[in-house]
Amino acid sequence: MIPVAKPILSGEEIEEIRAVLDSGILAQGDVVADFEGRFADYVGASYAVATNSGTSALHAALASLGVGEGDEVITTPFTFIATATSIMMQRARPVFCDIDPQTYNIDPDLIAEKVTEKTTAIVVVHLYGLPCDMGPIMEIARDQGLKVVEDACQAHGAEYHGQKAGSIGDAGVFSFYPTKNMTTGEGGMITTSDLEVAERVRIFRNHGQSRRYVHETLGYNYRMTNIAAAIGLSQLKHLDEFNARRRENAGYYDKNLNVKTPFVPEGREHVYHQYTIQVEGREEFIEHLEENGVGYGIHYPIPAHKQPFLKDYGELVLPNAEEASRRVISIPVHPGLTDEERDMVVQTVNSYE
């Protein structure tokens, strides 16, 4: 079976881990600080703060931007559930806005009508590795006095008109889960150019401590280990190389597949965390892929506003997100894909009738 995702690891990561083990300092320390600095430089932000997951990074970012109980936060329903639940962790309410059916990202033209006196922030998701249309989104935020969090958990290295994802809003959030464009096993990162936000995140991720045993606020144990950061340092060196191979694979698919392929607007650089197509009869198509040894993923089969635990949203209708959830399917595009495997994917997809 050709896997839909596959982390690329080498002896370099093993050597970095061994150096940490030999040092005896396994928890958060200088290696994490080095990783934070290098990641901030890569993204083009002034600061980066590492956490133990993308979800904890989302939570920490929202808390540090002042989102709290009773607030409303506008976001997309077509995303992994952590985008919504991180808002709820702050006892705020996610307000779901429909997507652009071409890009699958939140539709900027629909955001303004969702703003109320309770709205404090917008969380955008650069889905599948394609940046949102950040120009009009940032304009709405400035006009309404709202904070913007970029959920860039799938968009390491993606660009919007020359700016890296995670450097445009008030804060950017990344995940380093094993399927991502780069990994630390588990891990996350918040990027920002606001010193006060960075300092609040550092306190929040460490039990609310400003210094040892002095707890200024409610906080959590969201720290990254030196072991995870060591893997991240190695992965970051190769991120552009990984993304280039993803784009090469995606370009090959664009030219050779006979189904609806991803749309990339001018001025945006896609990094293809997923290569997502649309098909009729998805269940039958899945059977066809399985019979031919091609892996796949469905991202996402149930939009957030239709999840069982969000019963309050039962009457909400967001037609573009709901239609996408019925039709999308992702095929292998990871950098470990061989030319022969890529040809097999094309042949399998195109032979479906």
Question: What pLDDT score does 11 carry?
Answer: 85
Question: What pLDDT score does 16 carry?
Answer: 87
pLDDT digits (tens, 9 = 90+) for 263-299: 999 999 999 999 999 998 999 999 999 999 999 999 9
Question: What pLDDT score does 249 carry?
Answer: 98
Q: Indicate if 169 and 276 belong to the same structural domain.
A: no
**Residues 100 and 320 sit within 8 Å (Cβ to Cβ):** yes
Which residue's entry shows tokens 């306190």? 203
Query: Which structural domain, as residue segments, surrounds residue 145?
Result: 11-232
CATH number for position 221: 3.40.640.10
The C-alpha atoms of residue 62 and residue 135 are separated, in whole angstroms, by 21
Question: What pLDDT score does 190 carry?
Answer: 98
Q: Indicate if 42 and 171 belong to the same structural domain.
A: yes
Q: Indicate if 19 and 160 belong to the same structural domain.
A: yes
Q: Indicate if 183 and 251 belong to the same structural domain.
A: no
Q: Indicate if 175 and 258 belong to the same structural domain.
A: no
Question: What pLDDT score does 29 carry?
Answer: 85
Helix, strand, coil shares, percent, the chain, to 5: 40, 20, 40
The C-alpha atoms of residue 236 and residue 36 are separated, in whole angstroms, by 11
Tell me if 194 is assigned to some domain: yes
Report the mean per-residue pLDDT for the chain: 96
Question: What pLDDT score does 21 carry?
Answer: 87
Residue 122 CA neighbour count, 13 Å, CB half: 31
Q: Indicate if 248 and 215 belong to the same structural domain.
A: no
Tell me if 51 is assigned to some domain: yes
Q: Indicate if 223 and 252 belong to the same structural domain.
A: no
Tell me if 277 is assigned to some domain: yes
Q: What is the pTM of this model?
A: 0.96
Could you say which residues of the chain have pLDDT below 50?
none
Show which of 232, 258, 285 is a domain's final residue: 232
Question: What pLDDT score does 353 carry?
Answer: 74
Q: Indicate if 253 and 189 belong to the same structural domain.
A: no
Question: What pLDDT score does 13 carry?
Answer: 87
Tell me if 6 is assigned to some domain: no
Q: What is the secondary structure of 235-304 as a DSSP string?
A: HHHHHHHHHHHHHHHHHHHHHH--SBPPP--TTEE---SSEEEE-SSHHHHHHHHHHTTB--B-S-SS-G
Tell me if 4 is assigned to some domain: no
CATH number for position 251: 3.90.1150.10
Residue 306 CA to chain centroid, in angstroms?
A: 21
Show which of 181, 201, 232 is a domain's final residue: 232
Tell me if 205 is assigned to some domain: yes
Q: Indicate if 192 and 269 belong to the same structural domain.
A: no
Residue 98 CA neighbour count, 13 Å, CB half: 15
Number of structural domains found in the chain? 2
Question: What pLDDT score does 126 carry?
Answer: 98
Question: What pLDDT score does 311 carry?
Answer: 84
Show which of 232, 264, 293 is a domain's final residue: 232
Q: Indicate if 185 and 248 belong to the same structural domain.
A: no
Q: Indicate if 218 and 340 belong to the same structural domain.
A: no
Tell me if 5 is assigned to some domain: no
Tell me if 102 is assigned to some domain: yes
Q: Indicate if 326 and 260 belong to the same structural domain.
A: yes
